[in-house]
Amino acid sequence: MITSDTRSATPQPLRGVRVVEFTHMVMGPTCAMVLADMGAEVIKVEPVDGEGTRRLLGAGAGFFPMFNRNKKSIGIDLKQPAGAEVARRLASSADVVVENFKLGVLKKFGLDYASLSALNERLIYVSHKGFLPGPYEHRTALDEVVQMMGGLAYMTGRPGDPLRAGTSVNDIMGGLFGAIGTLGALIQRGITGKGMEVQSALFENNVFLMGQHMLQYAVTGKHPAPMPARDNPWAIYDVFTVKDGEQIFLAAVSDAQWAAFCDALGFADLKADPLLGTNNDRVRQRPQLLATLRERLAHRSATELADVFERAGLPYAPIRRPEDLYEDPHLLATGGLADIELPDGDKAGQTVKTTLFPITMQGQRLPVRLQPPRFGAHTDELLRGLGYGDDAIESLHAQAVVA
């Protein structure tokens, strides 16, 4: 339970909070990782053969090391009565339980909110599902499913070509909302002494993202066009292909920026053109204006343009791949990347860099305190903390109840 403790140099606002997570994939682990980064003791309960994301290939290869730092690992076979008992004892020791199993699965083991809160009214129970309670709640959801049905794929792709966003946006955001709910519940518990159930869901996350476009329709009466074909509110807000086929994003989103844009690039004639005097004037002339700019910029390199825009204080961006971020000078200078040891696979034990939670507290990034755990690395330690003696622990291992 929460205890007062001397804080380390890096803020750990959740130090002394115990979190037990029954999670897999991305959404639930993200929630627990945020709590862990903020100082909570987070215990990841895995099946006796380890969580499946430890073995994923391709686009899933980074899931486990990304979302499971600062955690402890215990392997438990919930299907064995003795395993379910271990899990219940562990959950009963927690301030927060985080889960993202299919509706009704944990109830079979006495690990649902009703069962656990009856034993501990202070418990905060955080569920991550595909849908909040309602007509869809029994459906199986994936990030891609809710992106398709929730309008995000429509808005991301070109007309007639719905396209999933390039990361697990709803899974990650669902975990963030679960963590936000947890923090609110902890504050409320400090006032009332009682916990509560918190729910986060993929579909509702996606709908929240679509809120601006829903209101765009409500305000304008026009169907929002997919982003590649949208009615852009700014004339200069696009990717330009320049010298040697390089690409760079350039923007000028105000009249002052337009003036600076023309001055920096030597386009005095465009600055003086009365048809381009205001942002809305430029939007009306956008097709021809962009054609003119593409012709004039084609001989300039992306590096040259970046330097020009940097000096002028104008918005720009190189077009990068994920691996390019490992060499980003800002991330390297500000400590935005941290070393971790890979826990699984052919590269187990190898040190690589990961991204940290994107906030500072007292001017500091929240660090990696514990490496992504090897499977079952903390099983015996945690069992002893629950009161199991050495003989009992040996017996649980022998019966494959724990790992």
Based on the fold, state whether residues 345 and 269 are members of the same structural domain: no
**126: CATH:** 3.40.50.10540
- Which of 284, 303, 322 terminates a domain? The answer is 322
Based on the fold, state whether residues 129 and 255 are members of the same structural domain: no
* Segment holding 201, helix H or strand E: strand 197-201
301: CB partners within 8 A, 6+ apart = 242, 243, 244, 246
Q: Residue 280 sits in which domain range?
A: 232-322
Residue 39 CA neighbour count, 13 Å, CB half: 19
**Shortest CA distance to 78 belongs to which of 100, 54, 45, 43?**
45
Based on the fold, state whether residues 292 and 376 are members of the same structural domain: no
Q: What region does 58 belong to: left with phi over 0, alpha with psi -120 to 50, or beta? A: left
Based on the fold, state whether residues 269 and 354 are members of the same structural domain: no
**Distance between CA atoms of 391 and 213, rounded to whole angstroms?**
61
Question: What three-state secondary structure class fits 35?
Answer: helix
Based on the fold, state whether residues 304 and 344 are members of the same structural domain: no
- Which of 322, 344, 368 terminates a domain? The answer is 322
**Distance between CA atoms of 213 and 243, rounded to whole angstroms?**
36
**Distance between CA atoms of 45 and 21, rounded to whole angstroms?**
6
Q: How do strand 360-361 and strand 364-365 relate by DSSP bridges?
A: antiparallel
Per-residue pLDDT of the chain (403 residues; tens, 9 = 90+): 443 343 458 999 999 999 999 999 999 999 999 999 999 999 999 999 999 999 999 999 999 999 999 999 999 999 999 999 999 999 999 999 999 999 999 999 999 999 999 999 999 999 999 999 999 999 999 999 999 999 999 999 999 999 999 999 999 999 999 999 999 999 999 999 999 999 999 999 999 999 999 999 999 999 999 999 888 889 999 999 999 999 999 999 999 999 999 999 999 999 999 999 999 999 999 999 999 999 999 999 999 999 999 999 999 999 999 999 999 999 999 999 999 999 999 999 999 999 999 999 999 999 999 999 999 999 999 999 999 999 999 999 999 999 9
Q: How do strand 247-252 and strand 337-341 relate by DSSP bridges?
A: unpaired
* Domain-located, residue 4: no
Whole-model pTM: value is 0.93
Based on the fold, state whether residues 104 and 204 are members of the same structural domain: yes
**Distance between CA atoms of 397 and 391, rounded to whole angstroms?**
10
* Domain-located, residue 215: no
* Domain-located, residue 74: yes
Based on the fold, state whether residues 205 and 143 are members of the same structural domain: yes
| Residue 19 structure tokens | 């979190």
Based on the fold, state whether residues 83 and 113 are members of the same structural domain: yes
* Domain-located, residue 94: yes
Based on the fold, state whether residues 136 and 248 are members of the same structural domain: no
Q: Report the number of distinct structural domains present in the chain.
A: 2
